[in-house]
Amino acid sequence: MRAAILLSGTGSNLVAIATSVRAGRLPLDLCLALSDRPAAAGLARATEFGMPTCTVAVRDFADREAHEAAVARAIDEAGAELVILAGYLRIFSASFVARYAGRLINLHPSLLPAYPGLHTHERALAAGDRLHGTSVHFVTAELDGGPLIAQAEVAVTATDTADTLGARVRRAEHRLYPTVLGWYATGALRLRGETVELDGLPLAAPVRFRAEIPT
């Protein structure tokens, strides 16, 4: 299955995904790494894995519609069947999401529906949460509100800062995301309407992992 990865930053999840592909654990053909930021470090990391890359910078387009049309054109020209959001910091319009409905997947650093948006680690600490984590979900027009697929819990310690907690969440992400993408690539995971199906059965709740995540 051909997949495009969209990113805005360092590309740590791209590396986790590409490493799983290279090791033969994840049956994806990573056909494109696309960023909205020319200086995104993740583009260089994608090149190290032999992935084609491109930048579609917002400043080069008159409006959001023109920018999204260029992003879609790059994805389609690459032949991507799956679009993976890995730290891509643009919010897509409803029409873009509809174009890739059921094959647009995102990773978010919280246990959704808690803390959609930014600064999730700081917000979890401020609230005194004892559990934090990360979620993988299908993308809809609602910000971080699409149907949940799986989550990984991370315990919050009394000495945590946003940086230390965020580092542990990222480690969980690097195990969780390739696992979920593997379900999709093998046909085990699908979205039918608003219902997530795994192995042909509807999920009543997201699959929840706590410590070691099976690969």
Catalytic residue among 108, 132, 137, 174: 108
In the prediction, which pLDDT does 213 show? Answer: 47
CATH of the domain at 161: 3.40.50.170
Residue 212 clears pLDDT 80, i.e. is over it: no
Number of compact structural domains in the chain: 1
Note whether residue 62 is domain-resident: yes
Active site residue 174: no
Q: What is the mean pLDDT of the chain?
A: 96
| pLDDT, tens digit, 9 for 90 and up, residues 43-74 | 999 999 999 999 999 999 999 999 999 999 99
157 domain residue, yes or no? yes
Q: How far apart are CA 114 and CA 126, in angstroms?
A: 13
Per-residue pLDDT of 67-108, as tens digits, reads 999 999 999 999 999 999 999 999 999 999 999 999 999 999
**180 domain residue, yes or no:** yes
Domain of residue 35, residue span: 2-209
- 214 within domain boundaries: no
